[in-house]
A and B are shown apart, each in its own frame.
Chain A
Amino acid sequence: MRPLTEEETRVMFEKIAKYIGENLQLLVDRPDGTYCFRLHNDRVYYVSEKILKLGANISGDKLVSLGTCFGKFTKTHKFRLHITALDYLAPYAKYKSTQDCRKVDPMAIVVFHQADIGEYVRHEETLT
């Protein structure tokens, strides 16, 4: 287990920022406790300080997971976000879900996009 290097942090933040944008600093700097990102076996875990100190007592080869797994770094050092991060990303999401659209104020703009099977073929360069 080790903290992330500068390069790894940057890659990870760039990926997460695509979903939550500037609210990422709320994840880094939390009012209710110190949380940090730690790397273990190529996976990034978002873990509170208390849990981290407890987890440090377990040897590396016996440690499976700690805190919440946000994602992993692939062999070519790209960052893949996992579904387990959803609980932390959802409250800060930039773009509203379909459920929220019902509660939004009358002047807000809502783009309702139903599945378009042909979109992958037509816009494959521009789709992220």
Chain B
Amino acid sequence: MEGQSVEELLAKAEQDEAEKLQRITVHKELELEFDLGNLLASDRNPPTVLRQAGPTPEAELRALARDNTQLLINQLWQLPTERVEEALVARLPEATTRLPREKPLPRPRPLTRWQQFARLKGIRPKKKTNLVWDEVSGQWRRRWGYKRARDDTKEWLIEVPSGADPLEDQFAKRIQAKKERVAKNELNRLRNLARAHKMQLPSAAGMHPTGHQSKEELGRAMQVAKISTASVGRFQERLPKEKAPRGSGKKRKFQPLFGDFAAEKKNQLELLRVMNSKKPQLDVTRATNKQMREEDQEEAAKRRKMSQKGKKKGNRPGPGGKRKGGPPSQKGKRKGSLGGKKPSGLPGLGGKRKGGQHQGGKRRK
């Protein structure tokens, strides 16, 4: 009997093994093509089983998917593995399938002014070295940029040229010239960009004072000058009797007249649903602003309390910290420091009230 049970156990074990093996081995006529870098398995077998399935091939499709996934996983298990933070990880090889372009090819840009000129004249870019030997500092310096070889703005001694005004600042003149060159370069860059995107540069055509401008031109120039500050004109003071400019706000945009009727209906129904839900919807911006304001008030009150206490106590070396349960008259007098909503004040007052009641009760007894 025991022998029988042992045999039975062995047979069962063998059966289990066979089942497991059956599960993980899949027979295919044509081998699948694997691109493990992309976790891709391509099945080239003819889909005869699917064709014979009939109108609803759900079960056959599911079986096919299971088989193919099993084969892919089998391949993955053969990859070299490594340990990364208590997890066993397989190292995938390089992907072999080339994915198509995500974005369209960039369209050719129009040539910049220099490129056109160079093309005309037949100028080719000369290969230049990155570093140049600088005699003055006795080291190799870069050709242009930070700490370059020949920076004329950094010279400490400039001789006044023979024809120049002796009171002119030569150093400032060089710095000015550099700024002008930088600005010119920037302008040309923007012009090239505008040409590439077929946009217009905002021009300062009528802005320079000539003395022959009309009232409108001057007004326009004045408006542009007013908003040409870092804060876009927000903190510019006005002359005593100058009026605020009308119509300087943003123009409102409305939905088109025959927009999508279905979308309009959907929005309105959604609005109705929100209205009828009878729950106050959380307006996140208002909630956060309210929270921030409360915190600011608390901090301000605390700071004022600290300063007040410091001034009043004077030279006393006491803790000077928060003293709870001060006499109510003092709290009332110091209305300047406690003004407005002060949540920390409430529990103290509540406590005082409760204490009074208890005492009253005891006295009654």
B271 interfacial by beta-carbon distance below 8 Å: yes
Query: Given the complex of chains A and B, what is the CA–CA distance between A13 and B273 in angstroms?
Result: 11
A17, A28, A52 pick with most chain B CB within 10 angstroms = A28
Whether B258 lies near A56 (C-beta < 8 A) is yes
Q: Which of A1, A25, A49, A52 has the most CB of B within 10 A?
A: A25
For residue A85, CB closer than 8 A to chain B, the reply is no
Please, how many angstroms separate the alpha-carbon atoms of A5 and B252 in the complex?
10
Which A-chain residue is minimally distant from B273 (CB atoms)?
Answer: A25
Jot down 6 A-B pairs with beta carbons below 8 A, ordered by A: A3-B256, A6-B271, A10-B275, A13-B272, A52-B258, A56-B257
CA distance A29 to B259 in the complex (A): 16
- Do the beta carbons of B269 and A29 come within 8 Å of each other? yes
Whether the Cβ atoms of A9 and B257 lie closer than 8 Å is: no
Q: Which chain B residues lie closer than 8 Å to A2 at the CB level?
A: 254-255, 257
What residues on B are CB-neighbors of A1 within 8 Å?
Answer: 257
Enumerate B260-318 residues with CB–CB distance to A below 8 Å.
Answer: 261, 264-265, 267-269, 271-272, 275-276
Output the residue of B261, B268, B271 with the most chain A CB within 10 A. Answer: B268
Query: Across the interface, do A3 and B254 meet the contact criterion of CB distance under 8 Å?
Result: yes
Contact, CB under 8 Å: B261 / A34: yes
A122 close to B (CB within 8 Å): no
Residue positions of A touching B, CB distance < 8 A: 1-3, 5-6, 9-10, 13-14, 17, 22, 24-25, 28-29, 34, 36, 38, 49, 52-53, 56
Closest to A28 in B: B268
How many residues in B have their beta carbons less than 8 Å from beta carbons of A? 16
Contact A10 B254 (CB under 8 A): no
Q: Which 5 A-B pairs have the closest CB atoms?
A: A2-B254, A3-B255, A28-B268, A34-B261, A25-B272
Chain B residues engaging chain A, CB cutoff 8 angstroms: 254-259, 261, 264-265, 267-269, 271-272, 275-276
For the complex, what is the distance from the CA of A2 to the CA of B276, rounded to whole Å?
Answer: 26
Contact partners of A9 in chain B: CB under 8 A: 268, 271
Interface centre among A5, A36, A38 (most CB of B within 10 A): A36
Closest-CB distance, B364 to chain A (whole angstroms): 40
Does B264 contact A3, Cβ atoms closer than 8 Å? yes
The 8 Å CB contact of A13, one of B257, B258, B271, is B271
Q: Which residues of A contact B258 (CB under 8 A)?
A: 52-53, 56
In the complex, what residue of chain B is closest to A34 when comparing beta carbons?
B261
Say yes or no: B275 contacts A14, CB within 8 Å. yes
A120 to B257, CA, bound (A): 43
CA distance A20 to B273 in the complex (A): 15
Task: List, in ascending order, chain B residues with CB within 8 A of A34's CB.
Answer: 261, 265
* CB closest residue in chain B, given A22: B276
- Which residues does chain A contribute within 8 Å of B257, judged by CB atoms? 1-3, 38, 52, 56
Contact across chains for A17 and B261 when beta carbons are under 8 A apart = no
What distance in Å separates the Cβ of B280 from its nearest Cβ neighbour in chain A?
14
B272 near A24: Cβ-Cβ < 8 Å: yes
Chain A residues whose CB sits within 8 angstroms of the CB of B254 once the complex forms: 2-3, 5
How far apart sit A6 and B264, CA to CA, in the bound complex (Å)? Answer: 10
Q: How far is the CB of B95 from chain A (nearest CB, A)?
A: 48
Nearest B residue (CB) for A30: B265
Minimum Cβ distance to chain B for residue A48 (Å): 11
How distant is the Cα of A32 from the Cα of B260 in the complex, in angstroms?
Answer: 18
Q: A86–B257 Cα gap in the complex (Å)? A: 26
**Residues of B with C-beta under 8 A to A14:** 275
Taking the closest CB of chain A, its distance from the CB of B262, in whole angstroms, is 8
Are B271 and A29 within 8 A (Cβ)? Answer: no
A18 to chain B, nearest CB (A): 11
Q: Hey, which chain A residues are within 8 Å of B269, CB to CB?
A: 25, 28-29
Closest to B262 in A: A34
Inter-chain pairs besides A22-B272, A22-B276, A49-B261, 18 sampled, C-beta below 8 Å:
A1-B257, A2-B254, A2-B255, A2-B257, A3-B254, A3-B256, A3-B257, A3-B259, A14-B275, A17-B275, A25-B272, A28-B265, A28-B268, A28-B269, A29-B265, A34-B265, A52-B257, A56-B257
A2 vs B258: C-alpha distance when bound (angstroms): 9
Identity of the chain A residue whose Cβ is nearest the Cβ of B261 in the assembled complex: A34
Minimum CB–CB distance for A127 against chain B, Å? 23
A52 to B269, CA, bound (A): 21
